[in-house]
Structure 1
Amino acid sequence: MAKVLSNKAQPSKGDGDAMKVLEDALTLCKFGKFHLLLLAATLCSIFAAMLVTTTSSYILPVAECDLKMTIMFKGLLNAIPFLGQIGASLFTGFLVDTFGRKIFLIGGNVGIFIGTLIEGSSQTYWMMLFIKLIEGISLSLSFSAISSMLSEFTPFHVRDRVLLAYSGFASTSLIIAALLAWVSLPLPIHVVVWEGYFELHAWNIYLYICSIWSLLAFILYYYLPESPKFLLSHGQEKEALEVLKTIYSMNTGNDRDSFPILSFNTSGTIKPTDVISLKKQLVNALIEVKELFRRPLIYKLLLFSFITFAGLIVFTSLRLWYPQISTIIENYSKSNGESAPFCVMITDYMEGLKEVQSRAMRNMTEPGICIPKLSGSETYMNGIILGCISLVFVVISACLVNSVGQKTLMFIILILCSICSGSLYWTKQSIVIAVLMSATCGLLQTALSLQQNLFVRVFPTTLRALAVSIIIMVGRIGSLSGNIIFPILLSMGCMAPFIATSLVALGLAGLVYFLPNVNEENKATGDQ
């Protein structure tokens, strides 16, 4: 039984589970200044991660001529960060569970920072493509640890709402990306540092600005401690207790030595990792990994992986194609002096694209002058609308999740998502199209966030980052597949990708029934 100084922290009789004692300790620490600092680090890290995959969709039109990009090259540049994540996710998840969260949060953000600076200095397409791949790998180092770190520091009674706030950061990043693009990309910047070898344009400056978030995340995580749950699960009881004392002192203003809990009663049960050789740590970690692929965890892993795969097929493709769709609608209205039904505008663009390609094939010998087609203010405004609506849904979910329940809320959100996607066929006003597209993306993102809140808490601490990495890896395969499938469906007919989105959302709503009820299952023991 844990040794305590007050009855308030005393666990129930017969409960010798160290993780339950840790949950009691986190409750005693309360939610305060320390958690605000952790949330600030999480915010910066999420911004850095999301911008790795989002910036390409805004710079493609501006940098088209500078980097001599074809349609295929643009698609590859959008997809390459996901390829980097797929290649590294499984490996990094295993390492995060073995060596801790903090080192990878620091290393991943340093990698993103350096990568974004080099990307901003790119002078050729292939240089940018290679750096985007490296950024994807760096993103993988940090991303699997972000949610684990946040969850493992947060008291049980506010964990769901804090994890939804984490999801809100992803929505906010869409607003920031659009605002930064709107401010910097239209600027007539052309700085010649070394003519023919090193020249800077507006999109270079945009990328430089985006690198700030990863730098801030690195600084904040550097001063934060390691997760107490990770330390305790690896036998480092004293270190875990010191971390909790720090949190207690920062949040309550009380002296560190007045912290009520004195021991978790786990000394000697696990040999601390700092006195075990690297080889032995890896062997022990491999032994623990086997538990993830045994019942019942394997069934939960497969269910979460499939839902994430299907959800990200439609969400990522809609999100990354949204600026392009907005540009299509904006240019149609300017050219024709009026709006038209959604499918009329999309079909007009697809037919015009085929005509341009046909004309180019007939005049292959004639050189042409590249003139970039810049996005107008409406496209950037739609990006802000997307982020705002997504953020509103996350805030509403955070308010309702405790009273309604995660599974019920997720089911309702997916049904609404299906309705919004299917309604696009009957719309013609650009603002209504923007709201419905944003609502579809926002609702789907909120549903995936609720699901993430579940799987972050379902798996034990020693397997959490690996499980999250596997699910993320499968999800990134879905993101890659979506970016390939979306234009194919679009060429088959305007509504094909949106009807597919509607059907996927309905199917996922049905799968919600089979998800575990984490709050009930972990009520007695706390999240393991």
Structure 2
Amino acid sequence: MKVLEDALTLCKFGKFHLLLLAATLCSIFAAMLVTTTSSYILPVAECDLKMTIMFKGLLNAIPFLGQIGASLFTGFLVDTFGRKIFLIGGNVGIFIGTLIEGSSQTYWMMLFIKLIEGISLSLSFSAISSMLSEFTPFHVRDRVLLAYSGFASTSLIIAALLAWVSLPLPIHVVVWEGYFELHAWNIYLYICSIWSLLAFILYYYLPESPKFLLSHGQEKEALEVLKTIYSMNTGNDRDSFPILSFNTSGTIKPTDVISLKKQLVNALIEVKELFRRPLIYKLLLFSFITFAGLIVFTSLRLWYPQISTIIENYSKSNGESAPFCVMITDYMEGLKEVQSRAMRNMTEPGICIPKLSGSETYMNGIILGCISLVFVVISACLVNSVGQKTLMFIILILCSICSGSLYWTKQSIVIAVLMSATCGLLQTALSLQQNLFVRVFPTTLRALAVSIIIMVGRIGSLSGNIIFPILLSMGCMAPFIATSLVALGLAGLVYFLPNVNEENKATGDQ
């Protein structure tokens, strides 16, 4: 792959890569909104969809279940048949799913569509980072992959802004009374579908990854793709591209026509290498770090609007703020009292009145995205000089400190900053780790390896959303102390991660 790395360097970083980054941005926005929109619409749609606390938790978790079920299968297919087709298909699935979700009139309809969106998300997600990495020149690859991580942070800002603009609106459009009615949350979901549509359009006009084509014996097609990139980025004629072949003979090998059955057999033979030494050890290490990291990150991110609402309502009810644990404990005790009263008084339920989130909740969502984005930008500036492993270690130590400091905080803005910093630092550390594992595994196994790691991570996300309220009921600081300890443990595991820049310096990424 050294000749391919040289070819990408000759193509430079230019217009083509900006178009690729735009497609990546839209695809990441679409993917993140699949799992993020639920946390904002739950309070607003509570009465329309007749949701209990259990139903809310299930709606938050169901996209991850869809991803877990499809990740292994889609990862294998992406490595076998290419990145582009699944990026297009996945985003089309998310677009159609979000439109239907926005038209949902019952809870069970929305739950089923969220599951389908999770499956569609798994089609595209494992291919996004592979596609971006395989098109990017070696000398800017780390920074571009960190920009990719910054898109995830930006999506949190966009989700909060769109929710703030649309959800408080008094919208109630009756299309067919009793059967099809639209509210503010329906419109919010319709707006969120735009990103997957844009991603589909952009990926449709982008070529297949040259590294994938070359690894599957399609040398002529890979060379044509590189000529296109070279022409777009430099303005020179396609035929002036200095590399004429990827082999020592100087001639282009003809592309072999391989049947579907043969492609699948070859892919299954290659898959065995992933479960042999040394790749299996790397796969297990990356999977465990992702699992542990996403247990705490996803639960904090999805519960953050709820915690923010608790703090906001406490301040309104009592006229002043209080220490973090006092406010959380007050809410938990009030919740137990309401549940106890409901068990004693089994009367007819009254009129359902949704408790809308205030502006502070949306502002805190924006703060979370902004702080996460700042950390990613700082990491992008420091990664080449400090090194990925050292930077990841420092970030995880800081994350542990921020999480543990919540106990002594009182002001809501300080709580918001510390919670946002904890989430942002965790996200940045996981992004740095992702930059490593998309480069460690060979091209023919990359999407499958990424899918396995993502699948294990999604199991962590599911587990975290179940464990978090249990820990919260045990004591205010229990989930945050757990977060602090997990971050410290992950900092210790950083030592065992491979140093990709040194290992692949001579030959380029595999």
The answer to whether TM tops 0.5 is yes
The separation in 1 between residues aligned to 2:506 and 2:99, in whole angstroms, is 48
Alpha-carbon shift at residue 273 of structure 1 (Å): 7.5
> Who is 2:7 aligned against?
25
Q: CA deviation at 1:265?
A: 1.4
1:273 and 1:281 in contact (8 A); partners too: no
- SS across alignment from 1:274: coil
Give secondary structure in 1 for the equivalent of 2:248. Answer: coil
Asked whether the equivalents of residues 152 and 227 of structure 1 are also in contact (C-alpha less than 8 Å), the reply is: yes
| 1:187 to 1:274, Cα distance in 2 relative to 1, 3 A | farther
Shift in CA distance, 266/108, structure 1 to aligned 2, threshold 3 Å: farther
Report deviation, 1:266. Answer: 8.0
Residue 274 of structure 1: CA displacement? 6.5
Q: Deviations over 1:177-214 (max 9, x none)?
A: 00000000000000000000000000000000000000
Shift of 1:308: 0.1
- The Cα offsets for residues 231-280 of structure 1, whole Å up to 9 and x where unpaired, read as 00000000000000000000000000000000001899999877111111
Distance 1:240 1:493, change over 3 A: same
Deviations 1:85-126 (A, max 9, x none): 000000000000000000000000000000000000000000
Alpha carbons 1:43, 1:169 under 8 Å: kept: yes
| CA contact 1:235–1:268 (8 Å) conserved in 2 | no
Aligned counterparts of 1:281 and 1:271: Cα–Cα separation in 2: 19
Q: Residue in 2 aligned with 1:246?
A: 228
1:306-348 superposed Cα distances (whole Å, 9 cap, x missing partner): 0000000000000000000000000000000000000000000
1:53 to 1:268, Cα distance in 2 relative to 1, 3 A: farther
> For residue 437 of structure 1, what is the aligned residue in structure 2?
419
CA contact (8 A) 1:89 1:469 kept: yes
- Structure-1 separation of matches of 2:138 and 2:338: 58
1:114-173 Cα distance to aligned partner (Å, 9 max, x none): 000000000000000000000000000000000000000000000000000000000000
Q: Give the number of aligned pairs.
A: 510
Change (3 A) 1:511 1:121: same
Compared CA separation, residues 303 and 272, structure 1 to 2 (3 A): farther
Contact 2:26 2:196 in 1 (8 A): yes
Report the alpha carbon displacement of residue 360 of structure 1 after superposing the two structures with TM. Answer: 1.1
Q: 1:122–1:269: structure 2 CA closer, same or farther, 3 Å change rule?
A: farther
Distance 1:272 1:138 in 2: 35
Match for residue 93 of structure 2 among 94, 111, 121 = 111
CA contact (8 A) 1:458 1:527 kept: yes
CA contact (8 A) 1:48 1:214 kept: yes
Q: Assess, with a 3 A threshold, how the Cα gap between structure 1 residues 268 and 49 changes in structure 2: closer, same or farther.
A: farther
- Is the contact made by 2:220 and 2:253 (CA closer than 8 Å) also made in structure 1? no
Paired position in structure 1 for 2:506: 524
Shift of the alpha carbon at 1:362? 1.6
Q: What TM-score do the two structures reach when normalised by structure 2?
A: 0.99
1:271 and 1:75 mapped to 2: Cα distance? Answer: 55
1:366 positional shift: 2.4
- Conservation of the 8 A alpha-carbon contact between 2:24 and 2:148: yes
Q: CA deviation at 1:439?
A: 0.1
Measure the CA separation in 2 of the matches of 1:67 and 1:243: 49
| Identity across matched positions, percent | 100
Matched, 1:130 2:112: yes
The 1:272/1:408 distance shift into structure 2, 3 A limit, reads: farther
8 Å CA contact retained: 1:385, 1:435? yes
Does residue 450 of the first structure (1) align with residue 432 of the second (2)?
A: yes
2:393 counterpart (411, 424, 432): 411
Check 1:269–1:408 CA distance in 2 against 1; reply closer, same or farther (3 A cut): farther
Structure 1 position 175, deviation (Å)? 0.1
In the TM superposition, residue 367 of structure 1 has moved relative to its aligned partner by 2.4
CA distance in 2, matches of 1:268, 1:131: 52
* Preserved contact between residue 234 and residue 271 of structure 1 (Cα < 8 Å): no
Secondary structure of residue in 2 paired with 1:275: coil
Deviations 1:331-374 (A, max 9, x none): 00000000000000000000000011111112222221111000
Give the unaligned 5+ runs of structure 2.
none
Let me know the Cα RMSD of the aligned residues: 1.3
Which moves more between the two structures, 215-224 or 257-266? 257-266
Counterpart check, 1:308 vs 2:290: yes
Match of 1:96 in 2: 78
Alpha-carbon shift at residue 438 of structure 1 (Å)? 0.1
How far, CA to CA, are the matches of 2:254 and 2:352 in structure 1? 62
Query: Distance in 2 between the 1:483 and 1:60 partners?
Result: 15
Q: Does the CA contact (< 8 Å) of 1:289 and 1:463 recur in 2? A: yes
Contact 2:15 2:232 in 1 (8 A): yes
Distance 1:282 1:268, change over 3 A: farther
Segments of 5+ residues of structure 1 without an aligned counterpart are 1-18
Pick closer, same or farther for the CA change 1:72–1:270 going to 2, 3 Å: farther
CA contact (8 A) 1:49 1:143 kept: yes
Give the conservation status (yes or no) of the 8 Å contact 1:343–1:425: yes
Other-structure match for 1:497 = 479
Contact 2:246 2:252 in 1 (8 A): no
- Equivalent in 81, 89, 93 of residue 63 of structure 2: 81
The answer to whether the 8 A contact 1:237-1:267 is kept is: no
Q: Which residue in 2 is equivalent to 1:68? A: 50
* 2:245/2:252 contact within 8 Å kept: no
- 1:246 and 1:256 in contact (8 A); partners too: yes
Q: 1:104 to 1:350 in 2, by over 3 A?
A: same
1:379 aligns with: 361
After superposition, what is the alpha-carbon deviation per residue over 1:413-457, rounded to whole angstroms, capped at 9, x for unaligned?
000000000000000000000000000000000000000000000
SS at match of 1:264: coil
| 8 Å Cα contact 1:237-1:266 kept in structure 2 | no
Report if the CA contact (8 A) 2:79-2:444 is conserved. Answer: yes
Render the CA deviation track for 1:379-423: whole Å, top value 9, x for unaligned. Answer: 000000000000000000000000000000000000000000000
Q: CA deviation at 1:518?
A: 0.2
TM-superposed CA distance for 1:460, in Å, is 0.4
Does the CA-based 8 Å contact 2:217-2:256 persist in structure 1? no
Runs of 4+ aligned residues of structure 1 deviating over 3 Å after TM superposition are 266-274
Q: Deviations over 1:272-311 (max 9, x none)?
A: 8771111110000000000000000000000000000000
The SS at the match of 2:256 is: helix
Matches of 2:224 and 2:332, distance apart in 1: 62
Change (3 A) 1:39 1:285: same
- C-alpha separation in 2, matches of 1:128 and 1:65: 14
- Aligned CA distance change for structure 1 residues 350 and 136 (closer, same or farther; 3 Å): same
| 8 Å Cα contact 2:91/2:199 also seen in 1 | yes
Q: CA deviation at 1:498?
A: 0.1
After superposition, the Cα gap between the structure-2 partners of 1:132 and 1:271, relative to the gap in structure 1 and judged at 3 Å, is farther
Distance 1:145 1:252 in 2: 27
